[in-house]
Amino acid sequence: MEIVIIMNYIISYDIVDDKTRLKLFKILKDYGTHVQFSVFEATLNKKQYNKMLYEINQIKINKSTDSIIIYSLNKLTMKNKLIIGCFSGDQNKSCYVV
């Protein structure tokens, strides 16, 4: 029996070029939830994580101006997140500005 380990990740990015940023966005939306402008949350097994990394590495970013940062987090850390304001990652909640 194979043991599958699931990890939580926060992926944040700062990409100057619109076309490159859109490519990255399209990749990340297949793996996680878009929670802020340049931030995704993802829960992945090792195989999914490696596939995502492979796809990200196929994008040619400008290493002098662009960055992609991936944080790995345990389950407890994810449960302890504090959200102030409207959380765009909550698919069941509507946000209104009055």
Identify whether 87 is part of a domain.
no
Annotated binding site for Mg(2+): 14
Identify whether 59 is part of a domain.
yes
Q: Which two tokens stand for residue 65?
A: 């101006």
Q: What is the pLDDT of residues 76-86, one digit of tens each?
A: 776 677 777 77
Predicted TM-score of the model (pTM): 0.80
Identify whether 96 is part of a domain.
no
Annotated binding site: 14
Name the domain count of the chain: 1
Determine the average pLDDT of the residues in 3-17: 93
Q: What is the pLDDT of residues 25-72, one digit of tens each?
A: 999 999 999 999 999 999 999 999 999 999 999 999 999 999 999 999
Structural domain that includes position 23: 6-76
Contacts of 24 (CB under 8 A, 6+ apart): 13, 15, 56, 59, 68
Identify whether 64 is part of a domain.
yes
Identify whether 63 is part of a domain.
yes
CATH number at residue 13: 3.30.70.240
